[in-house]
Structure 1
Amino acid sequence: ISSEQPPQPATAARSSRCDSIQFGTVDAYTKREGEAKLSKPFRVKTVAHAAAVTGRGGTGHSQLVLRFIYEHEDEYNTILRIDARSEEMAQSRYERCCRALRLRVQPVSSVGSVQDAPAVQAVLQWLRNRGQEERWLTVVDNADDLSSCDVSSIVPRGRTGTIVVTSQDAPATRLLGGRSDTGKVDDVEPEEAVQLLFSFVDEPLLGWRDECRRLVDELTGSLDRLPPAVRMAVVRIRIDVEDGNDVEAALRQYVADYCHYRDRLLQSEDFTAASSYKKTVWTVWETSLPSLRELENRQCDICPTRLLSFLTFLILNCANVQDELFRLASLGLPESCRQLNATTPTWMQALLATGDSGGWDDYIYRVTVETLL
């Protein structure tokens, strides 16, 4: 969200509200102990408040930080998020922040390293120059690979700033220029994982039959009690139940399918070398995709697997701006296709439909995306 003021140099002083947060919270969330660390003032020499949130992938440290932002957003003039999973992604996010702050930078064809990129330098300088009353918060998210990506060089500094780093790497605190507060997000407890599953499925539907409960315990254990994996598994189970299967049978079938795909994937060298988090999520996707394909065969107006492939491309290459791209495409793509004598793919036409007012009718898009969530 950018202000109405015209673009100005990075050194110019200004006070405006600027949020650059492009990822959402999940419906079911378990309050974690690390939240208290974010609210506690902890001063280091380069920023007013610094904290690191660490934990195994999928345990919810990014969601924890999001909850903190939503509860404290009125305390900051500027809120930025930098995705640090790679240098390319970090630079893309800084360029997005630069546009949101309306900072003028000179484009260059190439840079030696990400910290030398004009957009990175412009945003870092802008944050350093904020006045005493201009509080800002920057989240450096997914700073997991500290060996190949020089994250410390792109962490903002400034006396009025708050820095929060999320990472799967426990030594991530060194990114903050010395000692800082650290909140570790521990793995979800077995009972928490069960309650999480019940938050996605009506409890009366599952019931508390001994065999159902045993299968739920086995399922959440197989999924390493990772919240994203549990949620994805529930989507598949729901589809089976809607098709008329008994809940107990659907649970048993999912556990069997999960073990089958995991054993098959173990034959892949890439899979065996992956982290436990990636192994679990990878297997869950393999288990879920057949159900998505069956859903496509029954409902020809939605194409979740094709949309998933397309969104994956957009997320990797366009820094999470897929909704806006679809909106713009609905307005301009048909005319462009006519001019080029080209045809929009059939599966995409419904996703780009326009309403009576001429604007994007995003109903099919939302329904298809919800199938993937």
Structure 2
Amino acid sequence: MEITSRPRLLWTAGLGLLVARLILQIFMPSRLDSDYARKSKFELVAVDCFNSNLRATGVDIILVHGLGSDPDTTWQKLAKNVSPNHTDPASQGKQYINWVSDFLCEDLPPDVRRHARVFFYNYDSYWKNDAIEERRSRLGHELFEEVTSMEVKTPERSIIFVGHSYGGLVIKEALLKAQHLHSRRLVNILPQTKAIIFLGTPHVGSASTSLSVKAAQVFHAFGLAALPSIVEAITYASVELQDLHRQFEAISGHVRIVNFHEKRETLGFWGLWSDIAVKEQSVTLDRPNAEIIGLYTDHSGLNKFAERDSNYKIIRNKLIELMDAIIASARIAASVYSVPQETDKFYIERRNLSDRLEEKLNKPLNRSDQVAHAVAISGLEGAGKTQLALRYVERHKLHYDPILWIDARSQETIRSSFQRCARDLKLLTETNSAMPNLAALRDDPAVLVVLSWLQSRNQLHDEWLVILDNAGDLSSGIRDVIPSGVRGSIILTSRDIECAEVLPPGSQRLQVGIMEPSDAISLLLRHLNLNATEVSEDIHDLALSICENLQHLALAVHLAGARIRSSCAEDVNPESDNYSNTYLDPRRCLERYLQHQAKHRNELLQDSTATLTSMLRLASTHMHQGQWKEAEDLFVQVIEPFKRVLGADHPGTLNVRNTLASMYMHQGRWKEAEEHLVPAVDARKRLLGLEHPDTLTSMHNLASTYMHQARWKEAEAIFVQVIEPSKRVLGADHPDTLNSMNTLASTYMHQGRWKEAEEHLIPVVDARKRLLGLEHLNTLTSMHNLASTYMHQARWKEAEAIFVQVIEPSKRVLGAEHPDTLASMSNLASTYMRQHRWKEAEELLVQVVEPSKRVLGTEHPDTLNSMNNLVLTFSYQGRWKEAEVLFLQLKEARKRVLDLNPDTPASVGNI
């Protein structure tokens, strides 16, 4: 009986297994079956409603599905009430909504949509039946290769990745691969990636993985060729995922991260299991700028929406926000604003003129397709044409890219302006150095390359604006430099009322007459800090008389106001108690000016050089007395008239620029100083040559501004150019030459190039010792720097020898508690510590710590460093109690500074 029942049992078990396998095959059909094969290709697939052929700058959105997803349906959801045009003929009457193609296409604002391309990335991640052997790293590599191949054609576009669940991990692998292989590719998609939206990505794994692994093992046992390993790789808190997370964090600091997570449980295995598939703690990235947003849906609903519900709107709005920010940032970073001047601070806007200019620049040219818009502004010299154009330009900086300003007074200024524009546009030009200005204007290389570039702009690019200012002789070739292009607008200013004739047919005209009396009075009185609507009648009448004598011409009134302000100030000693009250008697200033106006009326009407010189003299007085604001106001007022009167490259104009830059440097306003030094350096190189002392001074100052902005490479490049000519022109021992060598050494030090720094500092130290003596501040600074380079090369004895020489003179010259003296003492102590001379180190550090607390503060980094070193010296001498007391003080100070940062107790192991 037992013998016959056993085969029956075996037969029953085998039949049960066969039935189970058949059931599993029904619910998990093979992908090799043509009825269930994927229709979508495993590659990047463009979303039809977006223009995938865009080649200009913009944003690419790449959506990456999760593990085991069907690329045909992963972004779709069954809809309840959808119009018939959404019905898929292959879906047996069921109606599906793909939220990307059906909703997002319509919902993106036009200004965002025209810059956008959207792609699905499909890959083979099926693991339940007939799965192929895959690893996450290989999937990431394939994504990297696909995106890189596409972005080679559009390297200026930004990328936003959207990864659902496991797809987020694939994105991280792809970016790690981009970092590893960036030197071998034409483009690097890592810096192009500006944002990632993770939809339920298990950064540290999923607690539900164990069930999926068991299921895969069961499927495999039934012969379904499942792949448990790919599921097992996302086990919660796995070492592999932690390593991936750390590596990704190290390279993605520039990427904006948004993490979405589900708030509802997911039903699985035919309703036999439910849980939060990826919990909030697993989607959370440990970084301060990562956003975490919960959605009221389960895990599978994070990437499927059949209607514009609140969950969809949250994701859509976040995408729009990211795209807006990326497009705006890219536009600002890449835009070219080649306008070398600003609206004068005393400019009185004539609202009716501004409105008319705005209106005319919005009218298309009906009789020409040469450009989109063009306006010719004409009027008397000094009527305010340039300021009107400048005000328009400044108000529309974000509307146009590029904006190019051409000084059209002469062929020379036109050539120079086009050269500047070519540089700003980063266009290479060929120049004939032997006969640079003998070619016809139309054949000038800079003119040709800029005009050609503008003409090539099309509807995929932003609108551009060119201003041709102060066109005097219309027969001098101005027609040859009028740009053309479908995206272009032109403003031309000229005294010639017929200047519109040089523009394309149908161009608009705008006549600028003299100022209204009320505007002229406002301009004049603004120089005296007076509001024209609030002054007494007698002051108003005095101002009116002055303006009438000047024909209400804007520039003449402006210069008259500057002269009145200057002459009032000259009567009072800047150091006297009455100086601050100079402007309290405007009647006296206006009356006296009116008495003498006849004698300089003509020169004012011709851009008076004398007035500008007087203002410049007063500005210099203010500067030497440290009255920075008063000096700046005058310098800013004179610099534009100087350019017009003398020319932008005249030595007088360049001196004003250089002096204004020096004033900004004294105030630590390095960027503003740079903006004046760059054109001064270019002009002096061109006009005076590299070996002229003025050129070398300007270059040194420009390099110094770069240094103070931590732009070490740019500073280094200039100092390298300066040093050898300085030696030849000024001499190897000249203070300016030594300053340049010393500062170049500083740039090397900031880059950790200690040997090169040492090579420049040794001759500086020797020369300064010989010329200035050991107790001169410059000598001590150079010696301290040289000793520091030895320290960073572990040459402790050499460093020690110099610090020993420096400390006593520093105490005498600077004082025992000066920060530089304390720094030298602390560094000498460090050299002793490196040589295990603990007692000597301790003696110095005891002298340093308390003064550092008083002078720098307990929480200053130098104070904390000295305290830490003293703790170490106590510890290495076995003086644990003293080390403990000081360490506790150090620990509290660091907590306050670093706000309980985990790195705070890093020195615990040193005790």
Pairwise same-fold verdict (TM > 0.5): yes
Go from structure 1 to structure 2 and tell me whether the alpha carbon gap of 1:152 and 1:205 turns closer, same or farther (over 3 Å shift). closer
User: Which of 323, 328, 331 is residue 677 of structure 2 equivalent to?
Assistant: 323
Amino-acid identity (%): 26
- Which residue of structure 2 lines up, in the alignment, with residue 160 of structure 1? 487
Is 1:36 paired with 2:358?
A: yes
**Of 33-42 and 96-105, the range deviating more from structure 2:** 33-42
User: Which of 360, 375, 389 is residue 51 of structure 1 equivalent to?
Assistant: 375
Paired letter, 1:140: L
Q: Secondary structure at the match of 1:202?
A: coil
Query: Which structure 2 residues correspond to residues 344-355 of structure 1 after superposition, within 5 A?
Result: none
Cα pair 2:374 2:490 within 8 Å, conserved:
yes
**Of 93-102 and 220-229, the range deviating more from structure 2:** 220-229
Deviations 1:289-340 (A, max 9, x none): 45655776787569999x9799776714699985323663424598554541
Go from structure 1 to structure 2 and tell me whether the alpha carbon gap of 1:38 and 1:260 turns closer, same or farther (over 3 Å shift). same
Go from structure 1 to structure 2 and tell me whether the alpha carbon gap of 1:151 and 1:14 turns closer, same or farther (over 3 Å shift). farther
Q: Secondary structure at the match of 1:163?
A: strand
Say which structure, 1 or 2, has more relative contact order (CA 8 Å, 6+ apart): 1
Q: CA deviation at 1:40?
A: 2.1
- Which residue of structure 2 lines up, in the alignment, with residue 224 of structure 1? 551
Paired letter, 2:446: A
User: Which of 337, 340, 346 is residue 22 of structure 1 equivalent to?
Assistant: 340
User: Which of 341, 347, 350 is residue 730 of structure 2 equivalent to?
Assistant: 341
Cα pair 1:38 1:68 within 8 Å, conserved:
no
How far apart, in 1, do the equivalents of 2:535 and 2:544 lie?
12
Is 1:68 paired with 2:392?
A: yes
Q: CA deviation at 1:122?
A: 0.9
Go from structure 1 to structure 2 and tell me whether the alpha carbon gap of 1:171 and 1:253 turns closer, same or farther (over 3 Å shift). same
Q: Secondary structure at the match of 1:73?
A: coil
Go from structure 1 to structure 2 and tell me whether the alpha carbon gap of 1:133 and 1:298 turns closer, same or farther (over 3 Å shift). closer
How far apart, in 1, do the equivalents of 2:625 and 2:413 lie?
33
Go from structure 1 to structure 2 and tell me whether the alpha carbon gap of 1:290 and 1:26 turns closer, same or farther (over 3 Å shift). closer
Corresponding pairs, count: 318
Query: Which structure 2 residues correspond to residues 222-371 of structure 1 after superposition, within 5 A?
Result: 222-242=549-569, 243=572, 246-262=585-601, 280-282=605-607, 284-287=608-611, 289-290=613-614, 293=617, 315-316=648-649, 322-324=676-678, 325=680, 328-330=699-701, 331=703, 336-337=725-726, 339-341=728-730
Q: Secondary structure at the match of 1:178?
A: coil
Deviations 1:21-80 (A, max 9, x none): 111012232224242344322223311111111111222222222222222222223211
Go from structure 1 to structure 2 and tell me whether the alpha carbon gap of 1:314 and 1:206 turns closer, same or farther (over 3 Å shift). same
Cα pair 2:361 2:489 within 8 Å, conserved:
no
Deviations 1:331-367 (A, max 9, x none): 459855454127xxxxxxxxxxx9xx99xxxxxxxxx
Q: Secondary structure at the match of 1:74?
A: coil
Q: CA deviation at 1:198?
A: 2.7
Cα pair 2:522 2:532 within 8 Å, conserved:
no
Query: Which structure 2 residues correspond to residues 95-110 of structure 1 after superposition, within 5 A?
Result: 95-108=419-432, 109-110=434-435
Cα pair 1:261 1:287 within 8 Å, conserved:
no
- Which residue of structure 2 lines up, in the alignment, with residue 186 of structure 1? 513
**Of 217-226 and 316-325, the range deviating more from structure 2:** 316-325
Cα pair 2:405 2:467 within 8 Å, conserved:
yes
Q: CA deviation at 1:123?
A: 0.9
How far apart, in 2, do the equivalents of 1:310 and 1:210 lie?
34
Query: Which structure 2 residues correspond to residues 7-18 of structure 1 after superposition, within 5 A?
Result: 16-18=334-336
**Of 213-222 and 331-340, the range deviating more from structure 2:** 331-340
Paired letter, 1:54: S
> Unaligned regions of 5+ residues in structure 2, if any?
1-56, 58-154, 158-333, 573-577, 655-674, 682-697, 704-718, 732-742, 748-911
How far apart, in 2, do the equivalents of 1:151 and 1:205 lie?
41
Go from structure 1 to structure 2 and tell me whether the alpha carbon gap of 1:36 and 1:103 turns closer, same or farther (over 3 Å shift). closer
Q: Secondary structure at the match of 1:236?
A: helix
Is 1:145 paired with 2:499?
A: no
How far apart, in 1, do the equivalents of 2:722 and 2:452 lie?
42
Larger Rg: 2
TM (norm. structure 1) is: 0.72
Go from structure 1 to structure 2 and tell me whether the alpha carbon gap of 1:182 and 1:329 turns closer, same or farther (over 3 Å shift). farther
**Of 290-299 and 94-103, the range deviating more from structure 2:** 290-299
Go from structure 1 to structure 2 and tell me whether the alpha carbon gap of 1:47 and 1:189 turns closer, same or farther (over 3 Å shift). same
Go from structure 1 to structure 2 and tell me whether the alpha carbon gap of 1:190 and 1:204 turns closer, same or farther (over 3 Å shift). closer
- Which residue of structure 2 lines up, in the alignment, with residue 132 of structure 1? 459
Is 1:212 paired with 2:539?
A: yes
- Which residue of structure 1 lines up, in the alignment, with residue 331 of structure 2? none
Cα pair 2:521 2:532 within 8 Å, conserved:
no
| Root mean square deviation of aligned Cα | 3.8
Is 1:123 paired with 2:450?
A: yes
How far apart, in 1, do the equivalents of 2:393 and 2:498 lie?
23
How far apart, in 2, do the equivalents of 1:209 and 1:103 lie?
57
Deviations 1:154-200 (A, max 9, x none): 11111221111111111111111223111112210112111222333
How far apart, in 1, do the equivalents of 2:529 and 2:618 lie?
24
- Which residue of structure 1 lines up, in the alignment, with residue 694 of structure 2? none
Cα pair 1:233 1:288 within 8 Å, conserved:
no
Go from structure 1 to structure 2 and tell me whether the alpha carbon gap of 1:281 and 1:207 turns closer, same or farther (over 3 Å shift). farther
Paired letter, 1:89: T
How far apart, in 2, do the equivalents of 1:225 and 1:285 lie?
20
Paired letter, 2:555: P
Go from structure 1 to structure 2 and tell me whether the alpha carbon gap of 1:45 and 1:85 turns closer, same or farther (over 3 Å shift). same
Go from structure 1 to structure 2 and tell me whether the alpha carbon gap of 1:323 and 1:256 turns closer, same or farther (over 3 Å shift). farther
How far apart, in 1, do the equivalents of 2:428 and 2:444 lie?
13
Cα pair 1:32 1:185 within 8 Å, conserved:
no
How far apart, in 1, do the equivalents of 2:620 and 2:497 lie?
42
Paired letter, 1:236: R
- Which residue of structure 2 lines up, in the alignment, with residue 79 of structure 1? 403
Cα pair 1:173 1:179 within 8 Å, conserved:
no
Go from structure 1 to structure 2 and tell me whether the alpha carbon gap of 1:299 and 1:257 turns closer, same or farther (over 3 Å shift). farther
How far apart, in 1, do the equivalents of 2:439 and 2:625 lie?
47
Q: Secondary structure at the match of 2:498?
A: helix
Cα pair 2:375 2:490 within 8 Å, conserved:
yes
